[in-house]
Structure 1
Amino acid sequence: MELKMRLCVALLSLSLCLGLMGHVRAQEEADDMEMDVEDAIDDMQEEDVEEEEQQVPASPPVPTVTYKAPEPMGEHYFAESFDKGTLHGWVLSQAKKDGIDEEIAKYDGKWEVEEMKDTKLPGDKGLVLKSKAKHHAISALLLRPFTFDTKPLIVQYEVNFQTGIDCGGAYVKLLSQTPDLDLEEFVDKTPYTIMFGPDKCGEDYKLHFIFRHKNPKTGEFEEKHAKKPDADLRTYYTDKKTHLYTLVLNPDNSFEILIDQTVVNSGSLLNDMTPPINPPAEIEDPDDHKPEDWDERPKIQDPDAVKPEDWDEDAPTKIPDEDAVKPDGWLDDEPEYISDPDALKPEDWDEDMDGEWEAPQIPNPACETAPGCGLWQRPVIDNPNYKGKWKPPMIDNPNYQGVWKPRKIPNPDFFEDLHPFRMTPISAVGLELWSMSSDIFFDNFFVTSDRNVAERWAADGWGLKKAAEGAAEPGLVNQMITAAEEKPWLWIVYVLTVAVPLVLIIVFCCTGKKSSASTSAAEYKKTDAPQPDVKEEAEEEEAKEEESEAKKSEEEDSTGEAEEAAGNDNKDGNTSSEVEHLMLLETHRKYRKPFKA
Structure 2
Amino acid sequence: MHFKMALFSRKIYLLGAFLVLVNAISVVHSEEPKEKDGDDEATVETVEEENVYQSPKISPEKVYLAEHFDDEAAFKKKWVKSEAKKQGVDENIAKYDGKWAIQQPSRKIFKDDLGLVLTTEAKHAAISTLLQRPFEFKDKPFIVQYEVTMQEGQNCGGAYIKLLSRGTNTRADLRKFYDQTPYTIMFGPDKCGNDNKLHFIFRHKNPKTGVIEEKHSKKPTQRLDEIYKDKDPHLYTLIVRPDNTFSILIDNKEVNSGSLLEDFAPPVNPPEEIDDPNDRKPDDWDEREKIVDPTAKKPEDWDEDAPAQIVDPNAVKPDGWLDDEPEMIHDPEAKKPEDWDDDMDGEWEAPLIDNPVCASAAGCGKWNPPTIPNPNYKGVWRAPLIKNPNYKGKWKPRRIPNPDYFKDETPFRMTPVHAVGFELWSMSPMLLFDNLIITDDLAVAEEWAQNTFALKRAKISRDSQTLWGRMLRAMNYKPGWWALYAVYVAIPIVAYIVCLVRRANEDSVFDRAMRFAGDNPWVYALLIVVTFLVVGLVAYACFGSKSDSDADMKKTDAVVEDDPHLSEGEAEAEEELKEEAERPSKADLEGPEVDNDDAEVITTTEEVADTTPLVDTEGAGDGQRKRKPRRE
TM-score range, shorter chain: 0.5 to 0.7
CA drift at 1:91: 1.1
Check 1:47–1:379 CA distance in 2 against 1; reply closer, same or farther (3 A cut): farther
* 1:116 counterpart letter in structure 2: P
* Residue 52 of structure 2 corresponds to residue 70 of structure 1: no
User: Contact 1:92 / 1:137 at 8 angstroms: preserved in 2?
Assistant: yes
User: Contact 1:131 / 1:438 at 8 angstroms: preserved in 2?
Assistant: yes
* Residue 453 of structure 2 corresponds to residue 453 of structure 1: no
* 2:445 counterpart letter in structure 1: A
Find 2:161's aligned residue among 172, 175, 191. 172
Query: For residues 312-331 of structure 1, what are the structure 2 equivalents within 5 Å?
Result: 312-331=303-322
Find 1:82's aligned residue among 58, 65, 69. 69
Check 1:186–1:371 CA distance in 2 against 1; reply closer, same or farther (3 A cut): same
How many residues align? The count is: 423
Query: For residues 409-424 of structure 1, what are the structure 2 equivalents within 5 Å?
Result: 409-424=400-415
* Residue 197 of structure 2 corresponds to residue 206 of structure 1: yes
Find 1:283's aligned residue among 274, 281, 284. 274
Between Structure 1 and Structure 2, the one with more helix by share is 1
The equivalent residue for 1:565 is none
Check 1:322–1:478 CA distance in 2 against 1; reply closer, same or farther (3 A cut): farther
Instruction: Determine the C-alpha separation between the residues in 2 that align with 1:480 and 1:430.
Output: 37
The equivalent residue for 1:566 is none
CA drift at 1:92: 1.2
SS at match of 1:96: coil
* Residue 140 of structure 2 corresponds to residue 151 of structure 1: yes
User: Contact 2:165 / 2:417 at 8 angstroms: preserved in 1?
Assistant: yes
Query: For residues 426-465 of structure 1, what are the structure 2 equivalents within 5 Å?
Result: 426-465=417-456
User: Contact 2:168 / 2:418 at 8 angstroms: preserved in 1?
Assistant: no
**Greater C-alpha Rg:** 1
The equivalent residue for 1:238 is 229
Query: For residues 566-585 of structure 1, what are the structure 2 equivalents within 5 Å?
Result: none
Query: For residues 285-324 of structure 1, what are the structure 2 equivalents within 5 Å?
Result: 285-324=276-315
Query: For residues 111-190 of structure 1, what are the structure 2 equivalents within 5 Å?
Result: 111-178=100-167, 182-190=173-181
Check 1:107–1:363 CA distance in 2 against 1; reply closer, same or farther (3 A cut): closer
Query: For residues 349-360 of structure 1, what are the structure 2 equivalents within 5 Å?
Result: none
Check 1:155–1:65 CA distance in 2 against 1; reply closer, same or farther (3 A cut): farther
User: Contact 1:67 / 1:464 at 8 angstroms: preserved in 2?
Assistant: no
User: Contact 2:52 / 2:112 at 8 angstroms: preserved in 1?
Assistant: no
Find 1:249's aligned residue among 240, 248, 253. 240
Instruction: Determine the C-alpha separation between the residues in 1 that align with 2:348 and 2:155.
Output: 63
* 1:75 counterpart letter in structure 2: K
Instruction: Determine the C-alpha separation between the residues in 2 that align with 1:361 and 1:130.
Output: 66
The equivalent residue for 1:493 is none
Check 1:66–1:477 CA distance in 2 against 1; reply closer, same or farther (3 A cut): closer
CA drift at 1:69: 1.7
SS at match of 2:432: strand
User: Contact 1:213 / 1:224 at 8 angstroms: preserved in 2?
Assistant: yes
Check 1:317–1:79 CA distance in 2 against 1; reply closer, same or farther (3 A cut): same
CA drift at 1:192: 0.6
SS at match of 2:134: strand
SS at match of 2:459: helix
Instruction: Determine the C-alpha separation between the residues in 1 that align with 2:351 and 2:381.
Output: 47
CA shift digits 1:97-125 (9 cap, x unpaired): 23333332222222222221222211222
Q: CA-atom RMSD, angstroms?
A: 3.5
User: Contact 1:332 / 1:375 at 8 angstroms: preserved in 2?
Assistant: yes
SS at match of 2:145: strand
Instruction: Determine the C-alpha separation between the residues in 2 that align with 1:364 and 1:247.
Output: 76
The normalised TM-score by structure 2 is 0.61
Find 2:368's aligned residue among 370, 377, 396. 377
User: Contact 2:81 / 2:175 at 8 angstroms: preserved in 1?
Assistant: yes
Find 2:380's aligned residue among 384, 389, 411. 389
* Residue 206 of structure 2 corresponds to residue 219 of structure 1: no
Find 1:228's aligned residue among 201, 204, 219. 219
CA shift digits 1:196-255 (9 cap, x unpaired): 011112222211111111111221211111111112111112111111100000111111
User: Contact 2:164 / 2:421 at 8 angstroms: preserved in 1?
Assistant: yes
CA shift digits 1:127-183 (9 cap, x unpaired): 111222222111111111111111110010111111222222111100000277600
User: Contact 2:66 / 2:436 at 8 angstroms: preserved in 1?
Assistant: yes
User: Contact 1:337 / 1:361 at 8 angstroms: preserved in 2?
Assistant: no
* 2:104 counterpart letter in structure 1: E
The normalised TM-score by structure 1 is 0.64
SS at match of 1:77: strand
Query: For residues 8-23 of structure 1, what are the structure 2 equivalents within 5 Å?
Result: none
CA drift at 1:273: 0.7
Check 1:372–1:453 CA distance in 2 against 1; reply closer, same or farther (3 A cut): same
Instruction: Determine the C-alpha separation between the residues in 2 that align with 1:65 and 1:294.
Output: 85
Unaligned runs of 5+ in 2: 1-22, 31-49, 476-632
* 1:159 counterpart letter in structure 2: V
* 1:165 counterpart letter in structure 2: Q
CA shift digits 1:17-48 (9 cap, x unpaired): xxxxxxxxxxxxxxxxxxxxxxxxxxxxx959
User: Contact 2:342 / 2:348 at 8 angstroms: preserved in 1?
Assistant: no
* 2:54 counterpart letter in structure 1: K
CA drift at 1:93: 1.1
Sequence identity (%): 57
The equivalent residue for 2:484 is none
User: Contact 2:306 / 2:379 at 8 angstroms: preserved in 1?
Assistant: yes
User: Contact 1:297 / 1:397 at 8 angstroms: preserved in 2?
Assistant: yes
Instruction: Determine the C-alpha separation between the residues in 2 that align with 1:372 and 1:168.
Output: 69
Find 1:258's aligned residue among 249, 254, 278. 249
User: Contact 2:208 / 2:404 at 8 angstroms: preserved in 1?
Assistant: yes
CA shift digits 1:464-495 (9 cap, x unpaired): 112221221126999599979xxxxxxxxxxx
SS at match of 1:468: helix
The equivalent residue for 1:11 is none
CA shift digits 1:349-379 (9 cap, x unpaired): 9xxxx9xx99899679465654344543321
* 1:296 counterpart letter in structure 2: E
* Residue 92 of structure 2 corresponds to residue 106 of structure 1: no
Instruction: Determine the C-alpha separation between the residues in 2 that align with 1:124 and 1:364.
Output: 80
SS at match of 2:101: strand
The equivalent residue for 1:576 is none
Bigger Cα displacement from structure 2, 152-161 vs 81-90: 81-90
Instruction: Determine the C-alpha separation between the residues in 1 that align with 2:472 and 2:142.
Output: 46
CA drift at 1:306: 4.1
* 2:385 counterpart letter in structure 1: M
User: Contact 1:335 / 1:364 at 8 angstroms: preserved in 2?
Assistant: no
CA drift at 1:452: 1.1
Check 1:121–1:389 CA distance in 2 against 1; reply closer, same or farther (3 A cut): same
Instruction: Determine the C-alpha separation between the residues in 2 that align with 1:402 and 1:125.
Output: 68
Instruction: Determine the C-alpha separation between the residues in 2 that align with 1:233 and 1:482.
Output: 21
User: Contact 2:169 / 2:419 at 8 angstroms: preserved in 1?
Assistant: no
Check 1:362–1:125 CA distance in 2 against 1; reply closer, same or farther (3 A cut): closer
Check 1:210–1:368 CA distance in 2 against 1; reply closer, same or farther (3 A cut): same
Instruction: Determine the C-alpha separation between the residues in 1 that align with 2:88 and 2:299.
Output: 72
